[in-house]
A and B are shown apart, each in its own frame.
Chain A
């Protein structure tokens, strides 16, 4: 076992890991932040997406030991970033029913957050590209795209009134 520390949502976690344990596994099973979902565990479903140093990655394809020193953000960190309120993306997913079972939702929201942080006014095509690596077994894509477009508008309006 190797003792490592991870910085997740601005919080430090010391945890012993084996080198081949994935970041997704450690975050869920050893640290207990189960918002990050483990689906295919081979990089094809997107449910384990989190932000590593600001960029979305698949945490099933990253060794936990290889994420030391990085700034990790999971779905649990979104509220904190938004002063304790649900993030506009989370609100929009609720409003527009951008989910059915909810398993893909954390990954979808984090991929969308990265898009909107860099492109506040995306086209529908850009939204579809941003979530291109994410599967929704319930098939709610149309509503997911709508939720992201609506969240983008809410965020732009909030920005404009500030």
Chain B
């Protein structure tokens, strides 16, 4: 725990700053989390394409996935390389900082037709992704309002039976047979929900 002592000391400084000055200055969690914005958008609200919004994801989910990236047990193109730069205390500080923000739907440009088609394909998903994906929990993130192309990329990757960590068996079986167009429509549906 190389930086643990320093980290908590600085968190105290941050708390003092809250009382005497602006909320942000002096806060180590902000310092760490600001570095993510170049890819995930200011404060973790993505402006789109394939980068996911991460602000407002459930705390337990964030802590878990960030650790899994670091440990190499969650497949990624780049997050593993990034997360190996942080120790446990830093990962928790970052996860908690993003978790404390409200979830906001990313801008969606999905067409009516796509959204309609997507809705017809997700009936069974609601067993777990309740309320059309609006509610997340520590086991699974909200899908409603997530960036469309990111959802499509994740669904394609999840069709690979070797994906780590494995998706719940129930979900994997459901998405196995989805076509490219089905995935696009499902992504459009969830992305358009607020």
* A and B associate in one complex: no
Mark B residues whose CB is within 8 Å of A.
none
